[in-house]
Amino acid sequence: MTQDQWGRLKQDLLKSVGKSNYKSWIEPLELSHMEEGVATFAVPTSFVGNYVSQKYGDQILYHVQSVAPDIRRVHFQVPLNQPVRPAPARPVAAAAPAPQRDPMMATAPLDKRFSFDNFVVGKPNELAHAAAKRVASGGPVMFNPLFLYGGVGLGKTHLMHAIAWELSQRQPDLNVVYLSAEQFMYRFVQALRERKMMDFKSMFRAVDVLMVDDVQFIAGKESTQEEFFHTFNALVDGGKQIIISADRAPGEIENLEERIKSRLQCGLVVDLHPTNYELRLGILQSKVEYYRTQYPGLTLADGVLEFLAMRITKNVRVLEGALTRLFAFASLVGHEITLELTQDCLADVLRSSERQVTIEEIQRQVSDHFNIRLSDLIGPKRVRIFARPRQVAMYLSKQMTSRSLPEIGRRFGGRDHTTVMHGVRRIDELRTTDSQIAEDLELLRRTLEA
C-alpha cells in the first residue's frame, strides 16, 4: 500500500465513520510501514492508538486489505523518536469515547453484537462454540485455560465477547476482564512508567475470569511475557478461569517462551476451522435478517446469498463487509439487490478473493466425477448422460469464475449464451429438488475449492 492509496482509503473511512470521528481518530493516523503482514500506523498518543485499535481496527483492516490483501493485522504505535505524552484526561471533545472508565478497571469495551445469539454455529466452529458455551455457563473451572485459535476473522473475538456477556449476565458480581494482549502490554508498560506495578499486579490478581485476545502479540516481548506468565500462574493457582485466543496453536507461536507455551497447552485447546459454504450461507442469512429491519423495502434476488457464500471464502469479516456494502449501495440507488448489482458493487472484493478456478479445471473435475470423457462433456452429443454433467459444469463455471455467459459458451464447444443460461437455470432448479445433484455439486465444489 502506498501513501497515496492510504490517503484514498482515509477518504473512504471518512464516509463510513463520519466527519467528527474522522477528525479525532482517523485523520491523525500516518502510515508508517508494512512488514510481514502487519501494517503499522503512527499515532500521536498511546491512548489514540488503543482507542482506534479497539473501535476502528477492523474497519481499517478491511479497507487496507482491499488494496493489500496479504495484510493480516493493523498496528498503531507511538513513534519511538517522539516523547511519550500522557494521554489527555479528556480526549478530543467532539467524539469522545464512552464515559471515562475507572482507571483501575481493566476490561476493554465489549461489542454488544458479539453475543452467542448472533453466533452462527456450523461444522468448522462447533467445538470452539461448545467449549465457549461451557465456560460461559460459569460452573466449576473444567479446563484452564481455554485456548481458542484460528485464522483472522473466524470468530475468536466474537466468542470471547459472548462469554464475557453471558458470564456477566449470569453473575453480575463476577470480575470478568477482557482485553487484547496488546492492551495488556500497554497497561503493563504504563504501570512500569508510572511506578504503579503494585496496583497493576493487584488489579490483575483480583480478576475472576481473565480473557486475553490475540496472545501472539506478546511473542518476542520479553518483559511482557514474563509479567503475563506470573499473572497467568497466580490466577490458575487461585482457581480462576482464563481464556486465551491466538491466530495459531500455542506450540506454533514463535518467540514465545517454552514455559508459557506449555502452560497454554495445559487446558483445552480448540481451533476454529476455515469456514465452509454452509456456514458462510448461514451467517449471511442471519445478517440479512438484520439488514431487512435496517433497510425495509429492499429486496434481495434469489441466489445472491448463495453466490456470495460461494465466492467470498476468505473470512467472515470480509463476508460481512461485503454484505454491508451491498445493502448500503442498494439503499442509495434504491434498487433490488440482483446478482448483477452484486457483481458490480463488489467487483474488487470478488476479485481479491477469487480462487482462480478455471473453466478447464471445472470441466476436468466434472468429467472425472461423472466418469465421462472430456470430449463428450464439451462435444455436441445431447443425450442425458452427457448433457446433465455439461450443465453442471456450466453452472459451476458461472458460479465459481467471473466469466460471462458468452465466454462460458465458447469454452463449451462454441455454444450460444442462451444455452448456457438455460443449463445454469436448470441446475439451479434441480439443486433444490434432486438431492443427488445437490450432493454432486457440493462434492465438486469442495474439490475445486481445495
> What does the binding site for ligand ADP look like in residue numbers (CB under 6 A)?
114, 118-120, 125, 150, 152-158, 283, 316-317, 320
CB of 316 to ligand ADP, least distance (A): 3
| Strand ranges (E), 106-265 | 146-150, 176-180, 209-213, 241-246
For 166, residues 6+ apart whose C-beta sits below 8 A from its C-beta are: 115, 116, 136, 137, 138
- In the bound state with ligand ADP, the residue whose beta carbon lies nearer, of 9 and 132, is 132
- Tell the smallest beta-carbon distance from residue 337 to ligand ADP (Å): 20
Angle at 116 between CA 110 and CA 120, to 5 degrees: 120
The residue (of 158 and 287) whose beta carbon lies closer to Mg ion is: 158
Q: What is the distance between the alpha carbons of residues 203 and 217, in angstroms, rounded to a whole number? A: 21
CB of 310 to ligand ADP, least distance (A): 17
Residue with Cβ nearer Mg ion (250 or 409) = 250
> Is 144 in contact with 192 (CB distance < 8 Å)?
no
Please state, in angstroms and as integers, the Cα–Cα distance from residue 122 to each residue in 270, 315, 400, following that order. Answer: 15, 14, 22
218 is in the binding site of which of ligand ADP, Mg ion, none (Cβ under 5 to 8 A by kind)? none
Work out how close the CB of 276 gets to ligand ADP at its nearest, in angstroms, rounded to a whole number. 11
Output phi, psi for 207, to 5 deg: -80, 145
Give which of Mg ion, ligand ADP, none residue 314 binds (C-beta under 5 to 8 Å, depending on kind).
none
Nearer to ligand ADP, 32 or 118 (CB): 118
Q: Which does 138 bind (CB under 5 to 8 A by kind): ligand ADP, Mg ion, none?
A: none
**Preceding omega of 145 cis (within 30 degrees of 0):** yes
Provide the minimum distance between the beta carbon of 213 and Mg ion in the complex, in angstroms, as a whole number. 6
**CA separation for the pair 24, 95 (Å, rounded):** 7
Residue 317's binding partner among ligand ADP, Mg ion, none (Cβ under 5 to 8 angstroms by kind) is ligand ADP
Residue nearest to ligand ADP (CB): 155
Shortest separation between residue 318's beta carbon and ligand ADP, angstroms: 9
Question: Least CB distance from residue 210 to Mg ion, whole Å?
Answer: 16
Instruction: Closer to Mg ion by CB, 156 or 445: give it.
Output: 156
Binding positions for Mg ion, rule: CB under 5 A:
156-157
Distance CA(228)–CA(274), nearest Å, equals: 29
What is the four-CA torsion angle of 112, 115, 117, 120, rounded to 10 degrees?
120
Min dist. Cβ of residue 198 to ligand ADP (A): 32
Q: Using CB distances below 5 to 8 A depending on partner kind, what does residue 125 bind out of ligand ADP, Mg ion, none? A: ligand ADP
At 79, list the grid cell. Answer: 513513534
Residue 283 partner contact from ligand ADP, Mg ion, none using kind-dependent CB cut-offs of 5 to 8 Å? ligand ADP
Amino acid identity of residue 186, one-letter, is: Y
**Structure-block grid coordinates of residue 2:** 502506498
Closest to ligand ADP by CB, 242 vs 424, is 242
Q: Which does residue 158 bind out of ligand ADP, Mg ion, none, counting CB within 5 to 8 angstroms by kind? A: ligand ADP
Compare residues 158 and 411 and give the one whose CB is closer to Mg ion.
Answer: 158
DSSP assignment of 37-76 equals TEEEEE-SSHHHHHHHHHHHHHHHHHHHHHH-TT--EEEE
Backbone angles phi, psi at 139, to 5 degrees: -70, -170
Between 157 and 276, whose beta carbon lies closer to Mg ion? Answer: 157
Report the residue number, 157 or 342, with the smaller CB distance to Mg ion: 157
Partner touching 280 among Mg ion, ligand ADP, none, CB below 5 to 8 Å by kind: none
Q: Supply angle C-alpha 365, 368, 373, rounded to 5.
A: 115
| Closest CB 37 distance from ligand ADP, rounded Å | 13
